[in-house]
């Protein structure tokens, strides 16, 4: 997902946040949690990566439509749930 200023990519290797030409890449071993926030009104989604080093990094991007924002949020939640559930099963 992306807008004119930034992007958020989540895949099997981890999370990549980009904003105004700056990039922060996190592999899954560095990530303690990922938080998403979509306001009740508006078209922005904020993704915050809480790294295991106790630092947090976030990017806010704007969707072209409210429907696309809902789609992004659903897809992101599915990917994150899948990763974190698989990680907790491996640890347990």
> Which pLDDT band, with edges at 50, 70 and 90, does 88 fall under?
low
- Residue 47 belongs to a domain: yes
Task: Render pLDDT for 5-53 as a digit per residue (tens, 0 to 9).
Answer: 999 999 889 999 999 999 999 999 999 999 999 988 889 999 999 999 9
In a domain, 13, yes or no: yes
Q: Which CATH number covers residue 71?
A: 2.30.29.30
Residue 75 lies in a domain: yes
Which residue range(s) make up the domain with 78? 6-86
For residue 92, being part of any structural domain is answered with no
**pTM given for the model:** 0.85
For the chain, the domain total comes to 1
pLDDT computed for residue 62 by the predictor: 95
Q: Quick check: is 91 in a domain?
A: no
Concatenating the DSSP letter of every residue in the chain gives -B-SSEEEEEETTEEEEEETTEEEEEEGGGEEEEEEE--SSSSEEEEEEEETTS-EEEEEEE-SSHHHHHHHHHHHHHHHHHHHHHHHHHH-
Residue 1 lies in a domain: no
């Amino acid at each position: 997902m992306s807008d004119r200023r930034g992007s958020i990519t989540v895949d099997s290797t981890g999370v990549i946040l980009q904003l105004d030409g700056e990039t922060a890449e996190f592999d899954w071993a560095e990530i303690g949690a990922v938080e998403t926030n979509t306001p009740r009104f508006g078209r922005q989604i904020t993704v915050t990566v809480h790294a295991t080093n106790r630092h947090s990094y976030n990017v806010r991007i704007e969707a072209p439509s409210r429907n696309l924002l809902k789609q992004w949020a659903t897809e992101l939640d599915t990917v994150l749930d899948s990763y974190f559930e698989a990680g907790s099963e491996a640890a347990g």
